[in-house]
Amino acid sequence: MDGRADRGTIIATALLLLYGLIMVYSASAPFSLKAFGDGAHLFLKQLLAAGVGIAGLVLLAHIDYHRLRAFDDILLLGAFLLTVLTILPLPGLSDGRWLRLAGFALQPTELLKFALIIYVAATIVRKGERIRSFAEGVLPFLVVLGLIAVVVIAQPDLGMTLILGALTLGLLFLGGARIKHLALVVLGGLPFVFLAVRLAPYRLARVLSFLDPHAYSTSSGYQIIQSLVAIGSGGIVGRGLGASHAKLFYLPQAYNDFIFAVTAEELGLIGALILIGLFVLFAWRSFAVARRAPDRFGRLLAMGIGFSISLQAVLNLGVTLGILPVTGLTLPFISDGGSSLLITLCMVGVLLNISRQGEGR
């Protein structure tokens, strides 16, 4: 019999969602007004995505998460094929990392991330003790991950590729794979990451500008410098909600990848720390849900969801603060992006279902 859903997860999710909607409205208003003649254009699209996402959250919170194991491979294959469409020359449909459908943009890699968590968790459970073998346990996951990585890098999206790789290795570690096998995988993957950076001029420029942004102040280092200026100008209490200067076309992607900089500028150190605190609360409750999960599949699924959202938040904050190279990853719940918000809320729905069953038992 189901118990109550984890209140901490509900509170953290609700506050992060509200925080994100407010900041998307504030950060995107100048661009929306200039591009669409309506300062609320992007906000309304984000609000629509939030509404659909909440519906998905409620639905998945009441559907037994064990049912996901029955078609985990179908989910992964479907998400993978949608991602393949983004790299095919399909005018009017594929557009870089997005699929354009009826006026809406879908980012299939967000769905792919969710599907990969389900697939890896379910497959680890099916393999049982064989997960400790490299040939039977780890290698099949590497083949799947390699196929996915080829397509996602071709979009191009190295940041999401690294997230998917970290997710897979993290779940394998939690699932009982040998550390020496995973260490060999990491060491073997480093040359491929180096080549992906070295062979793409814009990626190399991002790394070089990260090392010395002022040497590239008019090119690849411009975003980092403007982000740090915005954060620094916010002080302790900020300029006030809606009063950011950076969003007035000084900081590119102010309402997306770099929305935290606008948040820190408008709400100051206090507002930034509150936001970080909400992510810490969400991560803590996610892992608490995993600890109380009624079975191994639920435990791995909850850990994967919590790790995915938390890791992406850490990477985005690291980029905005200038301690990591630009990755192009959004800040979960907060950045503008309907696909990201929709899938994130659906993942929370699964997390709540796991918590209900854990409490019930």
Q: pLDDT of the chain along its 361 residues, tens only? A: 467 889 999 999 999 999 999 999 999 999 999 999 999 999 999 999 999 999 999 999 999 999 999 999 999 999 999 999 999 988 878 877 889 877 778 899 999 999 999 999 999 999 999 999 999 999 999 999 999 999 999 998 999 999 999 999 999 999 999 999 999 999 999 999 999 999 899 899 999 999 889 888 888 899 999 999 999 999 999 999 999 999 999 998 899 999 999 999 999 999 999 999 999 999 999 999 999 999 999 999 999 999 999 999 999 999 999 999 998 899 999 999 999 999 999 999 999 999 999 865 5
Give the model's pLDDT for residue 4.
Answer: 86
* Closest among 344, 340, 345 to 329, alpha carbons compared: 340
| CA separation for the pair 227, 59 (Å, rounded) | 38
CA distance 25 to 74: 37
pLDDT at 74: 96
The reported pLDDT for the residue numbered 2 is 63
Distances in whole angstroms, Cα of residue 218 to Cα of each of 51, 146, 222, 302, 305: 40, 36, 6, 43, 38
Which residues touch 126 (CB under 8 Å, ≥6 apart)?
A: none
Residue 188's H or E segment, with its range, is helix 179-198
Burial class (CB in 10 A: 0-12, 13-18, 19+), 107: buried
φ, ψ of residue 83 to 5 degrees: the values are -70, -40
Provide the whole-model pTM.
0.95
List C-alpha distances in Å: 75 to 42, 295, 361: 29, 21, 28
Question: For the chain, how big is the Rg over CA atoms in Å?
Answer: 20
Q: Is there a cis peptide before residue 325, judged by omega within 30 degrees of 0?
A: no
User: Pairing relation of β-strands 94-95 and 104-106?
Assistant: unpaired
Given this model, what pLDDT does residue 1 score?
Answer: 44
* Nearest CA among 345, 165, 329, 355 for reference residue 256: 329
Q: Give the rounded distance of the alpha carbon of 161 from its chain centre.
A: 11
- The half-sphere exposure of 248 on its side-chain side, counting CA atoms within 13 A, is 6
Q: How far is CA 103 from CA 63, 100, 106, 324, 354, in A?
A: 30, 6, 10, 34, 35
Using CB atoms within 10 Å of the CB of residue 254, give its burial: 0 to 12 exposed, 13 to 18 middle, 19+ buried.
buried
Answer for the pair 216, 208: CB distance below 8 angstroms, yes or no. yes
What is the distance between the terminal CA atoms of the chain, rounded to a whole angstrom?
A: 7
The reported pLDDT for the residue numbered 335 is 96
Handedness of CA 223, 224, 230, 233 (dihedral sign): negative
Torsions phi, psi for 237 (to 5 deg): -110, -5
Q: What residues have CB less than 8 Å from 139, skipping those under 6 apart?
A: none
